[in-house]
Structure 1
Amino acid sequence: MKKFTNLPSDLVFESILGFGAAHAQLVAVHLDPLFVTRKNPTPSKVALISGGGSGHEPLHTGFVGTGMLDAACPGQVFTSPTPNQMLAAAKAVGGEAGVLFIVKNYAGDVMNFQMAMDMMDGDYAWVLVNDDVSVDSAGHPTGRRGVAGTLVVEKMVGAAAERGADLAACKHLGDRVNACTASMGVAFSSCTVPEAGVPTFEIGPDEMEIGVGIHGEPGRRRGAFQSATVIVEELMDEILKDLNPKQGQEVLLLVNGLGGTPLMELYLLYQLASERLSHAGLVPARSLVGNYTTSLETAGASLTVTLLNEELKALWDAPVTTPALRW
């Protein structure tokens, strides 16, 4: 294993120090417990807080700023942050308008966020993101996983909170966005967790994992490596079957890299996926391409589709200024 580390156990802490120094005009890093907030929080608005294991950068710390999150709590690599991190973040940025927690559907995240919410004094609500269609909710004990669609929820709800929407409205919006968002990914290689020092799973040079999770969890199936066109067809078939959109529906298409795939290949995937949407009678009205919800250095990508209306388009288009997303 070759990684830029000193002690693997110190990597997350040292990385967050560098993140804070690089983006000091936008964010503030709090060390004990570890969490990140906006440089200048706005206590009069609903505070949005998210978090999760490190290794998915820029999710979540990279989305702290105007128009998105008020705070984010990073755990160790692929490990949920602790309840005291979340509680400290809520106390730092929460005000009379309340706190909305945005939580990816993983057992550790759900348990620790619930523990933090049980200790909350003020008003709070939460949105559970479960956009991964590769997992069969009926056959999986914790239900569908939260993956790259988390970014879409954070962006749209962040815009609404910035405009002054109250806690109930932000919660309702987050649930609606999650319900009309579906994602699925594919991996060509495993990643290596620094403290483990070995790949999370083994995969042959001529194989790919369809439906892989963002922590290296097994996908829906292991199969022979295929062309980009064939891969996109399989991913989009499952996404569209889940969403069941109407003809003429406008959509957001997010092509997300898992950390080790060049942008050249991600843009190829966007072209193929947008053509597939058009052939299905849908309109790719908004787009995003890049590494936004990664899995360390995994070679692979995911596709996310969100059904749009005029309200959601306006929320997506609203100004945002964060380390990783701004327009």
Structure 2
Amino acid sequence: MKKLINAPEDVVREALEGMQAAHADRLRICFDPFYVVRKDATAKGKVALVSGGGSGHEPMHGGFVGYGMLDAACPGHVFTSPTPDQMYEAGKAANGGAGVLQIVKNYTGDVMNFDMAADMLRDEGIAVESVLTDDDVAVEDSLYTAGRRGVGLTVLMEKLLGAAAEKGMDLAGLKALGDRIRASGRSMGMALTPCTVPHLGKPSFELAENEMEVGIGIHGEPGRHRVPIAKADEVAAMLMEPVLSDLPFKAGESIILFVNGMGGTPLIELYIVYRKAAEIAAKHGLTVSRSLVGSYITSLEMAGTSVTALRCDDTLLGLWDAPVNTPALRWGV
């Protein structure tokens, strides 16, 4: 195992210390329990957006805390759900008096712990709603889930709901918008290599030099099937066709197209995949109205990519274009 770490048990704490040092102008980090919150307090009357999950997916979620996205994020240990007390304390710290919206990826531990935290916050008189992401078309059930996994759509949802919250949308409206986004987006990913969790010290699965895994999860879960390694255009087709047929997306619709890196894939390769993914979308009669390319929801050092397509209209495009200022995503400011 070759990693730029000091000790496996210190990885999350030391990474948070690094975030605090690098982004002290916009973030405040609590270490007992771990959570990341905006340095500028949530505006009075604004709904607070809180998300979280296991570490190892950086920049998600802490990198998306800031104006136009999240108000707080809870990092668990690597590939391990944060605890209810983290979520509870983060919700209290972020609350601006208009309630808390939790954005939860569909993993059993995340769902259970966010539900417990929501009950604790309600006991404090804080209104709470939750939105689930379960956009992965590769599997119905996996090592971590009952039902589909929450993956790339989570990034888009945090941006869109963050913009709506900044514009003053209330808790019920954000919940309804989040459910609409959930129903309108699909994702699928693949890997050229596995990843190695620091405290385990060995790869999450094994791949031969001439193999790739299609349909992987963001925790290093094996995928839908293992096939001989293919060219980028073939990979893009393997991912796009299931995504577009699952909803299904219809000719004449507009989409936001997101090509994500899994942590170990250079940007030059992601643009090659995006080139073909956009071409496939056009052949289906879709208009790619907005795009995002880069490593935004990762699986440690895994080499691979995922694609996400989100059906959109003028309302969602306006929210996408709205200013955002976080460590990992910034425009319009």
Same fold (TM over 0.5): yes
Are residue 259 (structure 1) and residue 260 (structure 2) matched? Answer: no
2:134 to 130, 137, 143: 130
Task: Determine the structure 1 residue equivalent to 2:196.
Answer: 192
Are residue 310 (structure 1) and residue 314 (structure 2) matched? Answer: yes
Are residue 149 (structure 1) and residue 153 (structure 2) matched? Answer: yes
**Range with bigger deviation, 51-60 or 240-249:** 240-249
- Aligned partner of 1:100: which letter? L
Q: How many Å apart are 1:246 and its aligned residue? A: 2.1
- Aligned partner of 2:19: which letter? F
Aligned partners of 1:204 and 1:281: how far apart in 2?
A: 37
Q: How many Å apart are 1:319 and its aligned residue? A: 0.3
Task: Determine the structure 1 residue equivalent to 2:52.
Answer: 51
Alignment map for 1:262-273 (pairs within 5 Å): 262-273=266-277
Q: How many Å apart are 1:258 and its aligned residue? A: 0.2
Q: How many Å apart are 1:141 and its aligned residue? A: 6.2
- Kept in 1, the 8 Å contact 2:259–2:293? The answer is yes
Aligned partners of 1:233 and 1:161: how far apart in 2?
A: 36
Aligned partners of 1:85 and 1:288: how far apart in 2?
A: 30
Q: How many Å apart are 1:133 and its aligned residue? A: 0.6
1:44-103 residue CA offsets vs partner (Å, 9 max, x unmatched): 200000000000000000000000000000000000001000000111111321000000
Task: Determine the structure 2 residue equivalent to 1:220.
Answer: 224
Q: Percent identity?
A: 56
Task: Determine the structure 2 residue equivalent to 1:83.
Answer: 84
Q: How many Å apart are 1:296 and its aligned residue? A: 0.2
Aligned partners of 1:21 and 1:243: how far apart in 2?
A: 43
**Range with bigger deviation, 64-73 or 116-125:** 116-125
SS at match of 1:119: helix
**Range with bigger deviation, 82-91 or 242-251:** 242-251
Alignment map for 1:4-153 (pairs within 5 Å): 4-42=4-42, 43-120=44-121, 121=124, 122-136=126-140, 142-153=146-157
Task: Determine the structure 2 residue equivalent to 1:173.
Answer: 177
- Aligned partner of 1:24: which letter? A
1:108-150 residue CA offsets vs partner (Å, 9 max, x unmatched): 1111111111211210000010010101369x96100001110
- Aligned partner of 1:18: which letter? G
SS at match of 1:294: coil
Are residue 320 (structure 1) and residue 331 (structure 2) matched? Answer: no
- Aligned partner of 1:134: which letter? A
Q: Which stretches in structure 2 are left out of the alignment for 5+ residues?
A: none
**What CA RMSD, in Å, does the superposition of the two structures yield over aligned residues?**
1.4
Q: How many Å apart are 1:232 and its aligned residue? A: 1.0
Are residue 163 (structure 1) and residue 164 (structure 2) matched? Answer: no
Aligned partners of 1:10 and 1:245: how far apart in 2?
A: 44
- Kept in 1, the 8 Å contact 2:70–2:162? The answer is yes
- Aligned partner of 2:87: which letter? M
Q: In the comparison of the two structures, how many residue pairs are matched?
A: 327
Aligned partners of 2:202 and 2:250: how far apart in 1?
A: 45
2:305 to 301, 308, 311: 301
Task: Determine the structure 1 residue equivalent to 2:280.
Answer: 276
Aligned partners of 1:41 and 1:289: how far apart in 2?
A: 30
SS at match of 1:176: helix
Write out the 4+ residue segments of structure 1 that deviate beyond 6 Å after TM superposition: none
Q: Which stretches in structure 1 are left out of the alignment for 5+ residues?
A: none
Query: TM-score, normalization: structure 2?
Result: 0.96
